Chains A and B, each alone.
Chain A
Amino acid sequence: MTRSPALIAATPDAATPAVSPDDAWLPVCALADLAVERGAVALMDGEQVALFRLLDDTVLAVQQHEPHTQAMVMSRGIVGTRGGRPVVTSPLYKQVFDLASGECLDTTKGERVALVTWQVEVRDGVVHLGSAHGPGARAAA
């Protein structure tokens, strides 16, 4: 078997999201790089952030880390609305998360864990990431 040298992988740590000072907006990518209602992932200082461009070109950002399974998959869920609020469904076990607040809206699938969210702004066609909010991000807020 040809395998590359052993690589000890790091476990993702959802509790320490990429944090930037309130007024420090980091450019990520062009809005045009994102497809409407189809998530993408950005790598921000080693942390994976899922980005979602809605039909009205609003961009929302949550952690890529799916908190119930520890897999890096949130960007690959279906984007939709529940009661008018934009949501994404986890592609693994289908918990529904509010994209704006990160809240897990599902009461049926056991423990509810919220997602960390980031402030997002689109300036001159460029998507910028601001500060993080959520369970693991409180210290920074």
Chain B
Amino acid sequence: MNTSPSQTQPDGGSADPDVAARPLAGSTAAALPAEVAAPAASQVSAPQRVVVVGGGMVAQRFVEALRDRDDAGRHHVTVLAEEPRAPYDRVALTSYFSGRDPEALALGDPALWQDPLVRLVRGDAVTRVDRDARTVMTASGRTFPYDELVLATGSDAAVPPIEGNDLPGVFVYRTIDDVAALRGWVEERAAAASRPVRGAVIGGGLLGLEAAGALKALGAQATVVQFGTHLMSAQVDLGGGEALRRLINSLGVAVRVNTATQRMRPSRRTGAVGRLDFADGGRLDVDVVVLATGVRPRDELGRAMGLEIGARGGVVVDDACRTAVQNVWAIGEVACIQGACIGLVAPGYAMAEVVVDRLLGGAATFPGADTATKLKLAGVDVASWGDAFGSTPGSMEVVWADPVGGVYKKLVLADDARTLLGGVLVGDATAYASLRPMLGRALPGDPAAFLLPEGGAGAPELELPDDAGVCSCNNVSAGTVRAAVTEHGCTDLAGVKACTRAGTSCGSCLPLVKKLMTAELARSGVEVSNALCEHFDLSRAQLYDAVRVAGLTSFSEVVARFGTAEAGRGCDICKPVVASILSTVAPAHVLDGERATLQDTNDHVMANMQKDGTYSVVPRIPGGEITPEGLLVIGQVAKDFGLYTKITGGQRIDMFGARIDQLPGIWQRLVDAGFESGHAYGKSLRTVKSCVGSTWCRFGVQDSVGLAVDLELRYRGLRSPHKIKLGVSGCARECAEARGKDVGVIATDNGWNVYVGGNGGFTPKHAVLLAEDLSTEELVRTIDRFLMYYIRTADRLQRTAAWVADYEGGVDAIRAVVLEDSLGICADLDAAMVLHLETYEDEWAATLADPDKLRHFRSFVNAPDEHDRTLAYVAERGQARPATAAERAGAGAGPVLVAGTTLEVRS
């Protein structure tokens, strides 16, 4: 091919640099010596224009890897995506039903799409490729020239040619839009009918079982209809399939095997799908059907371009992912590589890495597919890897089955009876993470030992060789995980994940990654310590339990009983922790006796210290609801004390610039007017933000302000490992931004949905659904328990988002604890909340009534009538603000320094 690659057709309207730029040399030139290839070497060589068709998971990985490795920035990459969004985690699609939030499916670092060398075009499908002109055309009529073309168009859900497959109520399960439509349909049907929605899934493979789980999660009934002899027949043998069927049944999902669906019949009343007719004469009434019978590669562009197509579809590529046409590559599910298309993400990622390497001059080849799979269905553990069917000549099988418990495990070994060739684990796949990397390696000891239930004879500890793969999604070896600890100094799972990418896709290897990390840390002498500080070897959660069980009430007792040998008198870490623990275990005023010495900077004087050492004051305004009289009081106090005022993000008013000795005077006025402490200073409940709700709003469905006020009054003063914020929205429009809170409540027609683990700040997180359609009473009880459980078990300064993420089993496990009492502690948690409610008092009112506590607010111990005269302020926009160092130094020349808040108080 020697035609000039630069016959581009700049598309008139576009100011896009990669549309207008002309390449200096095509790839034919790249093969020539540099001096020959680059006649214009003195100029800056133009970047290679890489066009990726398809914005799926593999495309994302391709761009990520290219930007990661193309240090010189030689490639300009444009991703043309048919879906209206950035690439997302399709593997985790089903979690859309628990999170409901497309953002939660984000893949990788979103900053990738801001990179100047990367361009993402969403919602525009490529319709034609002109391989001679080297351009692609999109549905919207745009043209993009390329030097390298990468096809990453993935697959489509296959729609079996069954009569009625186009009826309303029949869905496929491939994209966010698919699952959103499915969800909408089921919710609509549920609202319309007085009986449960009846669902069927056609196809009993990995995808079908996930879909059945999703239907259950939506509250629908589910029947899986499988054409073959058993479930997951591509991965699991008949024995495993039987065990699996029992497990699936126990989730309340019906299973029909050996069943061919002949037609789908519309309901006479609705016109939507109403019945399935089976070949054996059986029938099933349905309101919704999910087709999960397989996928079909999106090879239509390849066909139109005249590329070679595999027997069962897919663009044929060699081991370097090259098609027969120069500069055209195919990766991911659309690629037919080594004779087949592979419907898993890990091999697609490997292909992406191969092409990146090739573009950068490397010689990487596709290593062959790891087809290991693990079913992601809560409550059903299934994994299969390697030669799961024992088809290798001479191979032997070791099987352990417990038909009653629904457990079936099989290892396939080579004829030496030691080398692991593959396996199937159903019902208990705990061994998967450590066994899978042993593929092709000799197992130590008796292979049967690996199959026995935990606590049995005990499998020998597996010491993985460095080159054993641990994370197949991201191709991370055991050695890389170890190096993250030994060479890159990672000390926790989050660090190792960020450093190696292990466990960031499907997550099934995380237990193994953690084990490797812990072993490596221990080996390099790093104590894997969750000790609080030098004074306590315990973690906050451990100390909480210890103090609670021992019934201790003071720091001196706690440090004497549970402190280290050298504990002395604690520090700024352990003292506030003990103060926080004692506040719910043995409630007392923050300034009572020794408690006063434990309080951190702000709790120390029940106000928020600002940069100049003065304080801000925030009275509580429950739910953000305040009377005009209340507003006047706050305004007058601020005016009289010369305080700077600002509205906070939590729907209340902050007054800045109060000296320590002014705090009691300010609070006397506020308390007299009926205000209480807002605990803006505490690691405690801050605010319950609300929208105006059904009382005024045309759209509100519940009284969000009323609930917010009740919740704020209930949890006011509740001290916790970190600050807690709540929000209540009166309808699904979510004006209170409740899902950005630790606990977010959103009104529904039937009650309240409650979300947990959200926060704004440095690492914003949306809260995830904990429970739906609760009555107010159920809601309050659920929040009570969630908060108390968090208070008891979270780490110091761990917000609910991180706590939920770290909690073993995540939000599902927490839901089991607080809604189903899986640990049998709910009565205890409820009692702890009652204690909080019974002992609550307004800290500021109590302080004003106690001369001993007021002593802490003196300006000078030897001159109580004096005050700090070093403070200096400047007027800005009509209020006072602290003077800068320069303003202080140049006093007189610059802005006028005004007195601090030393104004006479008018009565």
Contact = CB atoms under 8 A, between A and B. Distances in A.
B642 interface: yes
B859 A69 contact: no
Nearest to A51: B861
Of A7, A9, A91, most B-chain CB atoms within 10 Å: A9
Contact of A11 (B534, B866, B889, B904): B889
Interface stretch (A15-23, A73-81, A110-118): A73-81
Interface string A16-40: 0000000000001100011111101
Contacts of B566: 83-84
B870 A10 contact: yes
Contacts of A36: 594, 597
Interface residues of A, number: 51
Grouping DSSP codes into helix (H, G, I), strand (E, B) and loop, the A interface class, with mixed when no group exceeds half, is loop
A11 B888 contact: yes
B491 to A, nearest CB: 16
A71 interface: yes
B568 A71 contact: no
Contacts of B900: 7, 9
A102 B75 CA distance: 57
Given A72-B613, A72-B868, A73-B613, A42 B642 contact: no
Contacts, number: 147
B611 A69 contact: yes
Nearest to B602: A91
Interface residues of B, number: 57
Interface string B824-867: 00000000000000000000000000000001101111110010
A41 B576 contact: no
B581 interface: no
Contacts of B660: 76
Contact of B571 (A4, A29, A73, A80): A80
A43 interface: yes
Contacts of B282: none
B572 A78 contact: yes
B597 A79 contact: yes
A89 to B, nearest CB: 4
A35 B613 contact: no
B584 to A, nearest CB: 20
A35 B571 contact: no
B871 interface: yes
A82 B568 CA distance: 8
Given A41-B860, A89-B572, A7 B903 contact: no
Interface in B548-581: 566, 568-572, 574-576
B898 to A, nearest CB: 6
B571 A81 contact: yes
A55 B534 CA distance: 19
Of B609, B898, B902, most A-chain CB atoms within 10 Å: B898
Contacts of A29: 861-862
Contacts of B862: 28-29, 42-44
A76 B869 contact: no
Contact of B892 (A8, A40, A69, A73): A8
B891 interface: yes
Contacts of A28: 861-862
Contacts of B594: 36-37
A66 B597 CA distance: 19
B872 interface: yes
A70 B609 contact: no
B785 interface: no
A6 B569 contact: no
Contact of A38 (B569, B856, B888, B904): B856
A2 interface: yes
A78 B594 CA distance: 12
Contacts of A84: 566, 568
B869 A9 contact: yes
A40 B897 contact: no
Interface string A81-98: 111101101011010100
A125 interface: no
A139 interface: no
Contacts of B868: 48, 72
B739 to A, nearest CB: 32
B600 interface: yes
A92 B869 contact: no
A88 to B, nearest CB: 9
B899 A38 contact: no
Contact of A91 (B598, B604, B869, B891): B604
Interface in B574-602: 574-576, 594, 596-601
B605 interface: yes
Contact of B897 (A6, A43, A51, A80): A6
B512 to A, nearest CB: 33
B601 A92 contact: yes
A76 B897 contact: no
A125 to B, nearest CB: 14
A8 B870 CA distance: 9
A37 B605 contact: no
Contacts of A11: 870, 888-889
A3 B896 contact: no
B68 interface: no
B899 A72 contact: no
B570 to A, nearest CB: 5
A1 B859 contact: no
B628 interface: no
A76 B868 CA distance: 14
B878 interface: yes
A59 to B, nearest CB: 11
B870 A79 contact: no
B612 interface: yes
A110 to B, nearest CB: 16
B885 interface: yes
Contacts of A42: 860-863
B425 to A, nearest CB: 47
Contacts of B569: 37, 54-55, 79-81, 86
Contacts of B892: 8
A9 B903 contact: no
A35 B592 CA distance: 12
Contacts of A86: 569
A82 B571 CA distance: 7
B609 A91 contact: yes
B558 to A, nearest CB: 14
A97 to B, nearest CB: 11
B614 to A, nearest CB: 9
Given A35-B855, A38-B596, A4 B904 contact: yes
B860 A43 contact: yes
A44 B862 CA distance: 9
B565 to A, nearest CB: 11
Contacts of A55: 569
B889 A89 contact: no
A7 B899 contact: yes
A51 B860 CA distance: 10
A28 B855 CA distance: 16
Contact of A3 (B571, B891, B898): B898
A77 B660 CA distance: 14
B860 A91 contact: no
Contacts of B858: 40
Nearest to B614: A71
B858 to A, nearest CB: 7
B832 to A, nearest CB: 26
B568 A43 contact: no
A7 B515 CA distance: 64
Contact of B903 (A3, A38, A81): A3
18 contacts: A4-B902, A7-B869, A7-B899, A8-B892, A9-B872, A9-B897, A42-B863, A43-B863, A48-B870, A77-B601, A78-B571, A80-B571, A80-B575, A81-B571, A91-B601, A92-B613, A94-B572, A96-B571
Given A7-B899, A37-B569, A78-B599, 13 more contacts: A3-B642, A4-B899, A7-B900, A9-B870, A9-B883, A11-B889, A28-B861, A71-B611, A73-B613, A78-B576, A80-B572, A82-B534, A92-B611
